[in-house]
Structure 1
Amino acid sequence: MKLVFKSTLSIALCSLLLAAPTQAKKAEPQTYNIEPVSVATVFKADPSIKLTLEQIMADPDWLGRQPERAFWSADSKTVYYQRKQQGNENRDWFVRPLAGTDNGQLLPLQQAHTMGAANAVYNQDRSLQAYIFADNLFIRDMNKGTLQQLTQDSAKQSSPQFLLDGRLAYRQGWQFFAVNLATGLRSELANLKTEKAPEAPEVAKGYLAQEQHKLITYVALSHKNKLDRHQADIQLQQHNSTLSPQPIYLGKDLQIVEASLSPAADYILLSARKKTKRNDKDIMPNYITANGDVAAQQVRARVNDVSPEPQRLWLIDLSSGERTELSYTTLPGYNEDVLASVKAENAKAKGEKYKSEKVIRDIGLMNDWYWSQGAIRWHASGEQVAVMLKAFDNKDRWLATVDLKKQRLIPQHRLHDTAWVNYAFNDFGWLNNSQALYYLSEESGYAHLYLKSLTGKAKKLTKGTFEVSDPTLTQDDNYIYFKANMAHPGQYEVYRANLTNNAIEQVTHLVGSTDFSLSPDETKLLLRHSTNLLPEELYVADATPAKQVTRLTDTVSEQFKALPLVAPTIVAVKSSHQAQPIFSKVYQAAENTAAKNNVNTNEKRRAVIFNHGAGYLQNSDLGWSGYFREFLFHNLLVQHGYVVMDMDYRASKGYGRDWRAAIYRHMGKPEIDDLADGVDWLVQNANVDRQRIGTYGGSYGGFMTFMALFTQPDLFQAGAALRPVTDWAYYNQPYTSNILNTPSIDPIAFERSSPIYFSQGLTKPLLINAPMVDDNVFFQDSVRLVQRLIEQENPNFEIALYPVEAHGFRQPSSWLDEYRRIFKLFEQNL
Structure 2
Amino acid sequence: MSKTIYSFVFFLLGTSFAFSQTSDLSVEKIMQDPDWMGTFPSSVRWGIDSEHIYFNYNPEKNTADSLYMVNINNPKKIVEVTAKEKRELIPSSGDFNDSRSMKVYTENGDLILYDIQSGQKRELLDLSFSINDPEFLNDDQRIVFKAEDNAFIYDLEEGNIQQLTHIKSGSKTDKSDKKSSDKNEWVENENLDLLSVVDQRRQEKEDSKAYRESVKEKEDFIFYLNDRDLNNFEISPNAKYAGFSLIKRERGESTNVPNYVDESGYTKDISARTKVGDMDYTAELALYNIEKDTVFIIDVSGLPGIKKLPDYTSDYPDKEWKKGSRDIIPSNIKFSENGEKAIVNLRSTDNKDTWIALIDLKNGTLKSIEHQRDEAWLAGPGIGYTYYGNEELGWLPDNKHIYFQSEETAYSHLYLLNVENGKKRALTSGEYEVFDPFISNDEKHWYFTSSKVHPGERHFYKMPLMGGKMEQLTSMTGKNEVALSPDEEYMAITYSYMNKPEELYLKKTGSNTEPQKITSGQSEEFSTYKWREPKLIKFKAEDGAMVPARLYLPEETAKNDAAVVFVHGAGYLQNAHKWWSSYFREYMFHNLLTDLGYTVIDIDYRGSAGYGRDWRTGIYRHMGGKDLSDQVDGVKYLIENHDIDPEKVGIYGGSYGGFITLMAMFTEAETFKAGAALRSVTDWAHYNHGYTSNILNEPSKDPIAYRRSSPIYFAEGLEGDLLIAHGMVDVNVHFQDVVRLSQRLIELGKDDWEMAVYPVEDHGFVEPSSWRDEYTRILELFNESLLGK
- Normalising to structure 2: TM-score of the pair? 0.89
Change (3 A) 1:249 1:88: farther
Residues 193, 762 of structure 1: alpha-carbon distance in 2 compared, 3 angstrom cutoff: same
Match of 2:361 among 389, 404, 407: 404
Mapped to 2, the partners of 1:151 and 1:553 lie a distance apart of 40
Deviation at 1:682, TM superposition (A): 1.4
Written as runs of structure 1 = structure 2, the 5 A alignment for 1:656-667 is 656-667=612-623
Q: For 1:632, what is the secondary structure of its paired residue?
A: helix
Q: 1:697 aligns with which of 653, 658, 661?
A: 653
> 2 CA distance for matches of 1:322 and 1:397?
28
One-letter code of the match for 2:552? Y
Q: Tell me by how many angstroms 1:716 deviates.
A: 1.0
Higher mean C-alpha displacement, 669-678 vs 187-196:
187-196
Counterpart selection for 2:290 from 318, 326, 330: 318
- 1:644-659 aligned at under 5 Å gives the runs 644-659=600-615
Q: Which amino acid is the alignment partner of residue 59 of structure 1?
A: D
Which residue matches 2:262? 289
Range that drifts further, 763-772 or 450-459:
450-459
**Structural mapping, 1:11-410, within 5 Å:** 50-83=24-57, 90-102=64-76, 104-150=78-124, 155-165=129-139, 166-197=141-172, 217-228=200-211, 248-276=222-250, 279=253, 281-307=254-280, 309-337=281-309, 339=310, 341-347=311-317, 352=318, 358-366=323-331, 375-410=332-367
Equivalent pair of 2:251/2:279 in contact (CA under 8 Å): no
| Root mean square deviation, CA, Å | 2.8
Post-superposition Cα deviations, 1:351-391, rounded to whole Å, max 9, x if no partner, equal x3x5778521110124xxxxxxxx33222222222222110
Once the two structures are TM-superposed, the CA of residue 718 in structure 1 deviates from its matched residue by: 0.2
1:729 equivalenced with 2:703 (yes/no):
no
* Residue in 2 that maps onto 1:416: 373
Match for residue 413 of structure 2 among 448, 460, 479: 448
Per-residue CA shift, 1:583-622, capped at 9, x if unaligned? 100112345xxx5xxx2x4xx5211110000000000011
How far apart, in 2, do the equivalents of 1:523 and 1:343 lie? Answer: 54
1:241 is matched with which residue?
Answer: none
2:448 counterpart SS class = strand
Higher mean C-alpha deviation, range 116-125 or range 627-636: 116-125
Aligned AA (1:289): D
**In the alignment, residue 129 of structure 1 is paired with which amino acid?**
K
* Contact 2:252 2:278 survives alignment (8 Å): no
Note closer, same or farther for the CA distance 1:528–1:766 as it changes in structure 2 (3 Å cut).
same
Q: Distance in 2 between matches of 1:397 and 1:545?
A: 40
Q: Counterparts of 1:788 and 1:460 in 2: how far apart (Å)?
A: 52
Is residue 439–residue 449 contact of structure 1 (8 Å, CA) maintained in 2? yes
Distance of 1:731 and 1:608 partners within structure 2: 28
Q: What is the CA distance between 1:137 and its match in structure 2?
A: 3.8
Aligned length: 747
Structure 2: distance between partners of 1:119 and 1:81: 16
Greater mean alpha carbon deviation, residues 145-154 or residues 580-589: 145-154
**Cα deviation per residue 1:463-490 (whole Å; 9 max; x = unaligned)?**
1111111111113332111111112111
Give the aligned partner of residue 14 of structure 2. none
The offset of 1:541, in angstroms, is 2.7
Cα contact 2:564–2:600 (8 A) shared by 1: yes
CA distance in 2, matches of 1:673, 1:534: 32
Per-residue Cα deviation, 1:300-340 (whole angstroms, up to 9, x for no partner):
10004223x12100101223430111111342212212x2x
What amino acid does structure 2 have at the position aligned with 1:106?
Answer: E
Q: Distance in 2 between matches of 1:200 and 1:50?
A: 74
Amino acid at match of 1:288: V
1:283 Cα deviation (Å)? 1.4
Percent identical across equivalent pairs? 36
Other-structure match for 1:531: 497
What amino acid maps onto 1:804 in structure 2? Answer: V
Q: Is the 8 A contact 2:104 2:114 kept in 1?
A: yes
* Kept after mapping to 1: 8 A contact 2:23/2:595: no
Unaligned runs of 5+ in 2: 1-21, 384-391
After superposition, residues 673-822 of structure 1 pair within 5 angstroms as 673-822=629-778
Cα-to-partner distance string for 1:623-658 (whole Å, 9 max, x where unaligned): 111000001111111111111110001110001100
* Shift in Å, 1:67: 1.7
Distance across 2 between alignment mates of 1:791 and 1:554: 55
Q: Pick which of 193-202 and 393-402 moved more.
A: 193-202
Compute the TM-score of the two structures, normalised by the length of structure 1: 0.85
State the Cα deviation string for residues 60-82 of structure 1 (Å, max 9, x = none).
11122322221122222221122
* Structure 1 Cα separation of the partners of residues 337 and 521 of structure 2: 41
* Alpha-carbon distance in 1 for matches of 2:581, 2:36: 17
Counterpart-to-counterpart distance in 2, 1:327 and 1:85: 57
**Which amino acid counterpart does residue 404 of structure 2 have in structure 1?**
Y
CA contact (8 A) 1:195 1:249 kept: no
Residue segments in structure 1 that go unaligned for 5+ positions in a row: 1-47, 239-245, 367-374
CA positional deviation for 1:106 = 1.2
The CA deviation at 1:537 is: 2.1
Question: CA 1:103/1:561 → structure 2, altered by over 3 Å: closer, same or farther?
Answer: farther
Which amino acid counterpart does residue 638 of structure 1 have in structure 2? T
Does 422-431 or 633-642 show the bigger shift? 422-431
What's the CA shift string for 1:36-64, capped at 9, x where partnerless? xxxxxxxxxxxx97011111111111122
Q: Secondary structure at the match of 1:634?
A: helix
Contact kept, 8 Å, 2:439 with 2:465, in 1: the verdict is no
Match of 2:520 among 541, 548, 554: 554
Q: Distance in 1 between matches of 2:747 and 2:103?
A: 65
Give the 3-state SS of the residue equivalent to 2:742 in structure 1: helix
Q: CA shift at 1:343, angstroms?
A: 2.1
Provide the rounded CA distance (Å) in 2 between the counterparts of 1:391 and 1:642: 47
CA distance in 2, matches of 1:73, 1:231: 60
Asked if the contact 1:178/1:187 (under 8 Å) is kept, the reply is: yes
**Conserved 8 A contact 1:508-1:545:** no
Q: Is the 8 A contact 1:768 1:797 kept in 2?
A: yes
Q: Which residue of 1 aligns with 2:470?
A: 504
Does the Cα contact within 8 Å between 2:153 and 2:163 map onto a contact in 1?
yes
The 8 Å contact of residues 617 and 653 in structure 1, kept in 2 or not, is answered as yes
User: 1:428-477 CA distances to partner (integer Å, 9 max, x unpaired)?
Assistant: 21112342111110111010110111123111111111111111111333
What CA distance in whole angstroms lies between the structure 2 residues aligned with 1:787 and 1:501?
59
- Identify the residue that residue 592 of structure 2 maps to in structure 1: 636
Aligned partners of 1:620 and 1:717: how far apart in 2? Answer: 24
**SS of residue paired to 1:332:** coil
